[in-house]
Amino acid sequence: MDQSILLRKGLDLNIAGGADSSAELRWIGSKHIAIVPDDFPGFTPKLDVKEGDSVRRGQSLMHDKNDERIRLSSPVTGTVESVVRGERRKIERVVVAVSEEDAVVTHIVVPGNADSIREALMASGLWAMMRQRPYDIVPSPTATPRDIFVTAFDSAPLAPSLTAQVKGMEAEIEAGLKALQLLTSGKVYVSMREDEAVAVPAGVVSVGVKGPHPAGNAGVQAANIRPVNKGETVWTLDIVTVARIGALILTGTVDGHAIVAVTGSDVTRPEIVKTLIGADLSSLLQGNIHAEGHNYRVISGNVLTGVRTDIEGYLRFPYRQVTVIPEGNDVDEFMGWASMASDKMSVSRSFPSHFLFGKKFRPDARLHGGRRAMIMSGEYDKVLPMDILPEYLIKAIIARDIDRMESLGIYEIAPEDVALCEYVDPSKIELQKIVREGLDYLRKELD
């Protein structure tokens, strides 16, 4: 490793229902896939297709109104079955019926040419899979990032191994990292666990990371390697996206497959499966939910940052995990949230479960307490390994105090970074939503 960092703050949640990343992959096909524009902050969609149109893998489904070069493409060959709209005709998702054929759009990429790589990434839809700080949005094509930060592991609860997902793709990873080197004026950093090292080409900085979640967040890694200051821009992405970029460089085509962890205490058979980007969850979960006698919640993603959906929903970006846990709205237990039962998962020393190290818990989706005014308890600081004061930053965001938001580090942070703060928050405040609204407000006011 070229560098190493040790993060002492954070929290690993011991939840039952993890899948074995070393097990053999099982293929699960999907009859429909869906692309959801809301998964890509900063992207304002405008349709390039209509219902009934035939599309090829890698063909554009929609583009950004602010820059039509940035597109979201279809991961499959098929037919546009529906364009689902919400209030004020907002595009909620584009659903494509999957065909057995595999017609592909080939993107021309000139290796070693930064402009060619940029254009290919934007046209293929892979550009939208990266994030820019500040604002945690799809990167601006006109900006040159100071540095690019790649995370090669996911530390979220029950998350799959990212290095296992890219096993055997060394050539794609090398090509992807070399392409990223051409797009930045600074360095490309790849953060990894020391026991799951990834080979990187010359000039790319490898960083060994130790510590609990959120150590796997690229933004947290950036804050501990080289923080983002006002006026600077950095990009973040994961190693799976790097491999997809490398495949585009080498073949000119977009890989529409995704390796997904089906996890959670209400899953009968936790497993890692191979499917399609945006696959329908009914295919992934068919016959694999153990929820007799109680209600359950389906989450596309992990329990901290995932999107609540249902069995008829679709796999959402970053397309690597589905979690099923008890809903909890049909539970009748003695003393409710104040129960001292040993199976009650808690970070508080007031509960005996705090001292049951290694025990796997089966939490549900209840708040376990009512919403109330923010309590300045210092709990946020214990789980956020960044050099900011999260409680004061949240207050500044709520007050829409731009100067104070800037001085307290809003340019470094993204909603996923405060997910653990939201979990330990005794006030039950929706911190991720507040941070997202604050970033959008700041961008609107300053841009």
**Residue showing tokens 């709205």:** 329
Return the number of other C-beta atoms located less than 10 Å from residue 14's C-beta.
15
For 148, the enclosing helix (H) or strand (E) is strand 147-151
Phi and psi, residue 275, nearest 5°: -145, -155
pLDDT for 371-426, tens place per residue? 788 888 889 999 999 999 999 999 999 999 999 999 999 999 999 999 999 999 98
pLDDT for 345-385, tens place per residue? 777 666 666 566 677 888 888 887 777 888 888 899 999 99
User: E-assigned strands of 154-268?
Assistant: 188-192, 205-210, 234-238, 257-263
DSSP assignment of 359-415 equals: PPB---S--SS---SPP--SHHHHH--SSS-HHHHHHHHHHT-HHHHHHTTGGG--G
Q: What is the pTM of this model?
A: 0.94
Query: According to the model, what pLDDT value does residue 350 have?
Result: 65
Query: According to the model, what pLDDT value does residue 4 have?
Result: 96
Query: According to the model, what pLDDT value does residue 336 have?
Result: 63
Phi and psi, residue 224, nearest 5°: -100, -10
Across-strand partners of 279? 33
User: What 3-state DSSP class applies to 65?
Assistant: coil
User: Rounded to a whole number, what is the distance in angstroms from the first to the last CA of the chain?
Assistant: 39
Contacts of 407 (CB under 8 A, 6+ apart): none
Q: Which two tokens stand for residue 102?
A: 């595999």
Strands 131-133 and 234-238: antiparallel
Strands 188-192 and 205-210: parallel
How many CA atoms lie less than 13 Å away from 126 in the CB half-sphere?
A: 30
Rounded Cα–Cα distance for residues 249 and 414 (Å): 29
Rounded Cα–Cα distance for residues 430 and 29 (Å): 35
Query: According to the model, what pLDDT value does residue 342 have?
Result: 64
Question: Is the C-alpha dihedral spanning 428, 430, 432, 438 positive or negative?
Answer: negative
Regions in the chain scoring below 50 on pLDDT: none
| DSSP state, residue 281 | H
Contacts of 301 (CB under 8 A, 6+ apart): 307, 316, 318, 321, 322, 323
